[in-house]
Amino acid sequence: MKWVLNPGSIKPIIFTLIIGAIIGGAVSIAYRVSLAVWNGFYPLLTREPQLFLIFALMALLISSLLVRLFLRKKAEDSFETFLEYYHLSPEKLRLRDALVYSLASLGAFMFGAPVGPEGASVLMGAGISSWFKRKFAINMTYQVMLLTGLAAGFSAVFKTPLSGFLLALELPYKRDLEKEPFIAAAIASAAAYLVSFFLNTPSIINVAFTLPQLNVGLILLTILFGFIVGGLSIAFVKLYQLFGRLSTLLVSKASLPLLVLIGGLILGTLGYLEPLSIGPGLNLISITIAGGLALTSIIIILLFKSFAVITTLNFGGTGGTFLPAIEMGMLIGAAFGLLFSPIYVPFFALLGMGAAASGVNKVVLAPIAFVAEIVGSNAIIPVLLASIIAYFVSNNFSIYPVQGTSKREHEGLALERFYRRAISMDPHIMLNRRVKDVMTRNPLAVESGSSVRDTRKLLEEKSIRVIPLIAEGGLFFGYTTLEDLSALPTSAYDRPLYTLAIKKGLIFTEDAALEEVIQTMTEKNEDHIFVINSTGQLVGIVANIDLIRMLMNVVAS
């Protein structure tokens, strides 16, 4: 960490409190105004549902045009925008850029796009905290400042300080925590919450309900439900990615205005057919948890809302996906509960909130805390169980391409960042690039029967740390490293390598796609792959640095 709680760290603590309070005030006011505008429009839309077509088009137009005109970028999910800045260029998020993104998100929100206000709030918070970093030279990195702003913005808009704090630690990586902003995010989140509380920011649930007594049967149903939500999360992410590819193709073949027009027509039609599938959905949450919807209605709204969210974020709109995931999970839970008894609707609706947010957004602690903060801790154990299951069932599927797999240092992290930057510039930039284009042919290797002593000496002479092992006929056997051999006792120096715990390594053929190789290396946290031919003989090797050089050339060109 860059600073800790000690007498010499009073300045960053004071600045963090101020930053959190300012973000809390700005987010609370922006949210109240935008929600009031939407609440003013909604009665008109329910009386004249054909107006949904106009409002949907306006939502996408405002969102898309603001981002395109002022930033010359494509509007997208707000968390994805945040992650792009965080991983690729954290120092480049200016207050002006953050405000443009926030206004674009609020514009979509006010005109009925099914996005969450957290999209605007986290970018507003990140922009404000980044501005403070520049203005006052605060002794924290830009990454820490961005996550501090995210925590405060999320906490303020939902009045959930614990989940805002946890989200800041979880969001950057699917399988890891970013621990550096721990203190700063906690302080800013608490300060933003206090301001939001005193300004009486609206809560997302305003209905009383009773949860059934927990028993063995409900625990078993909770486990089953977690698997179901995990599977549905994968389906949602795949559909989201499909729409993303379609929108990219449409823009390349036609134009952005046509993309927005098609998106507006789809979104408006869904709103016309089912008004509850459009808008921020706060009334939908209260109605569903209160048990006011029939099973058929729940299924229709769930399908329409899922398509509405996917359409909005791929056809010109921007905003948050945490609240939409909460709402979709709630609908899944309500439907699941109705299959057994109406008294189970609130119980499984709450479980669905946590589980779907975990599966779709690839965070697990924040959704659990979120549910506990908005409804109390009575359901914390089953929500925890369902969310963890959904999180692991959905595996590495995420709607955020830039979200890292795990926190790595040096070359591993550099590889992932250069790769994400390359595909953010052009999703097809890695097309037709193969392993044979970058591999080192006929790499230095040793026979598996070589001694530890001779192999270690060879590594030191050649100044390399990784050496592949081959068996009879040149067949790839595995690999070892200088670190592994140096850790052995001197009594093992005369042993043959094959008697040791040899690493298996990642194996690919010459014609394997580089995109697949990079994704596998980042997911498995490996820094080398080994290339074999059709008979299993070692013919090449690719290191992290080889891929980084290639990606640097791609980005530069």
298, 331 in Cβ contact below 8 A?
yes
Write phi, then psi, for 70 (nearest 5 degrees): -90, -25
Answer whether 401's CB lies under 8 Å from 77's CB: no
Same domain as 343, residue 309: yes
Query: Is-contact 285 342, C-beta < 8 A?
Result: no
Taking all residues of the chain, what is their mean pLDDT, rounded to a whole number?
A: 89
Phi/psi region, residue 473 (left: phi>0; alpha: psi -120 to 50; beta: rest), is: left
Could you tell me if 344 and 303 lie in one domain? yes
Percent with pLDDT over 70 in the chain? 95
- Would strands 538-543 and 528-532 be described as parallel, antiparallel, or unpaired? antiparallel
3-state secondary structure of 450: coil
Query: 366: number of CA atoms within 13 Å, CB side?
Result: 31
Nearest-5° Cα angle at 554, 553 to 555: 95
Give the pLDDT band (50/70/90) at residue 512: very high
Task: Give the structural domain span for 284.
Answer: 216-393
State the pLDDT at residue 4.
44
Q: How far apart are CA 261 and CA 284, in angstroms?
A: 27
Are 260 and 64 spatial neighbours (Cβ–Cβ below 8 Å)? yes
pLDDT of residue 7: 44
Q: How far apart are CA 200 and CA 465, in angstroms?
A: 59
Asked if 97 contacts 123 with a C-beta cutoff of 8 angstroms, the reply is no
pLDDT of 451 above 80: yes
Statement to judge: residues 356 and 235 lie in one domain: yes
C-alpha span between 369 and 160 (Å, rounded):
8
Q: What is the pLDDT of residues 173-213, one digit of tens each?
A: 888 888 889 999 999 999 999 999 999 998 887 767 778 88
pLDDT at residue 553 in the model: 74
Q: From residue 390, how far is each of 241, 360, 394, 507 by CA, in Å?
A: 19, 9, 6, 30
Enter the tokens of residue 54. Answer: 């106009």
Domain membership flag for residue 534: yes
**Which is higher by pLDDT, 376 or 95?**
95
Contact 156, 201 (CB under 8 A): yes
44-49, Cβ contacts within 8 angstroms, sequence gap of 24 or more: 45/112, 45/271, 45/275, 46/275, 49/271, 49/272, 49/275
The DSSP code sequence of 93-130 is --HHHHHHHHHHHHHHHHTT-S-BTHHHHHHHHHHHHH
Residue where a domain terminates, one of 198, 229, 261: 198
> What pLDDT digit, counting tens, does each position of 527-556 carry?
899 999 999 999 999 988 888 878 877 766
CA-based torsion, 434, 521, 429, 400: positive or negative: positive
The residue with tokens 């027009």 is 261
**Is 203 inside any structural domain?**
no
From residue 154, alpha-carbon distances to 3, 64, 261, 323 in Å are 23, 23, 31, 11
The one-letter code for the residue type at 256 is: L
User: What's the number of CA atoms in the CB half-sphere (13 Å) around residue 300?
Assistant: 12
The first and second tokens of residue 255, run together, are 């134009």
CA torsion 98-100-106-111 (nearest 10°) is -160
In this prediction, residue 409 carries a pLDDT of 47
| Spatial CB neighbours of 396, under 8 Å, sequence gap ≥ 6 | 174, 175, 362, 405, 523
Looking at residues 92-104, what average pLDDT do you find?
94
Whether residue 414 is contained in a domain is answered as no
Question: Does an H or E element contain 466, and which?
Answer: strand 466-470
Residue 2: what pLDDT?
A: 45
Half-sphere exposure of 73 (CA within 13 A, CB side): 17
Q: Is residue 337 within 8 Å of 211, Cβ to Cβ?
A: no
Q: Let me know whether 110 and 168 are in one domain.
A: yes
Rounded Cα gap, residues 120 and 112, in angstroms: 15
- Do 509 and 484 meet the contact criterion of CB atoms below 8 Å apart? no
Residue 469 is which amino acid? L
Q: Is the pLDDT of residue 91 over 90?
A: no
CA torsion sign for 405, 411, 417, 420 is: negative
Query: Residue 439's domain is classified under what CATH number?
Result: 3.10.580.10
Q: Under a CB-based contact definition with an 8 Å cutoff, are residues 25 and 199 in contact?
A: yes
- Does residue 480 sit in the same domain as residue 440? yes
Model confidence at 414, in pLDDT bands (50, 70, 90)? low
Cβ(160)–Cβ(373) under 8 Å?
A: yes
Give 139 or 223, the one with higher predicted confidence. Answer: 223
Report pLDDT digits (tens) over 427-446.
667 778 899 989 999 899 99
The pLDDT score that the predictor gives to residue 326 is 95
How confident is residue 425, by pLDDT bands cut at 50, 70 and 90? Answer: low
- Judgement on whether residues 350 and 452 belong to the same structural domain of the protein: no
* CA angle, 192 then 197 then 200, to 5°: 125
- Do 189 and 284 reside in the same domain of the chain? no
**Which pLDDT band holds residue 371 (cuts at 50, 70, 90)?**
very high
* Torsion of the alpha carbons at 316, 318, 321 and 327, rounded to the nearest 10: -80
Residue 299, domain member (yes or no): yes
Q: Is residue 408 part of a domain?
A: no
Domain containing residue 184: CATH number: 1.10.3080.10
pTM of the model: 0.78
Are 191 and 282 contained in the same domain?
Answer: no
pLDDT band at 304 (very low <50, low <70, confident <90, very high): very high
415 in a domain, yes or no? Answer: no
Specify the range with the lowest mean pLDDT, choosing from 60-74, 122-136, 139-153, 344-358. 60-74
Confirm whether 204 is domain-assigned.
Answer: no
Per-residue pLDDT tens digits for 6-50: 444 677 788 899 999 999 999 999 999 999 999 999 999 989 999
- Both structure tokens of 344: 């189970």
Q: What DSSP element (H or E) covers 180?
A: none
Answer yes or no: are the C-beta atoms of 98 and 123 closer than 8 Å: yes
Q: Are residues 311 and 340 in the same domain?
A: yes
Statement to judge: residues 47 and 191 lie in one domain: yes
**207 occurs within a structural domain:** no
pLDDT at residue 477 greater than cutoff 70: yes
Tokens representing residue 95 in the block: 């207050």
Q: What percent of the chain shows pLDDT beyond 90?
A: 60
The alpha carbon of 111 is separated from its chain's Cα centroid by a whole number of angstroms, namely: 25
- On whether both 299 and 359 belong to a single domain, the answer is yes
Sheet holding 446-447, edge to edge: 446-447, 466-470, 476-481
Confidence band for 413, pLDDT divided at 50, 70 and 90: low
Are 26 and 175 found together in one domain? yes
More confident residue, 314 or 402: 314
Q: How many domains is the chain partitioned into structurally? A: 3
Structure token pair of residue 108 = 């979509």
Contact 140/111 with Cβ under 8 angstroms? no
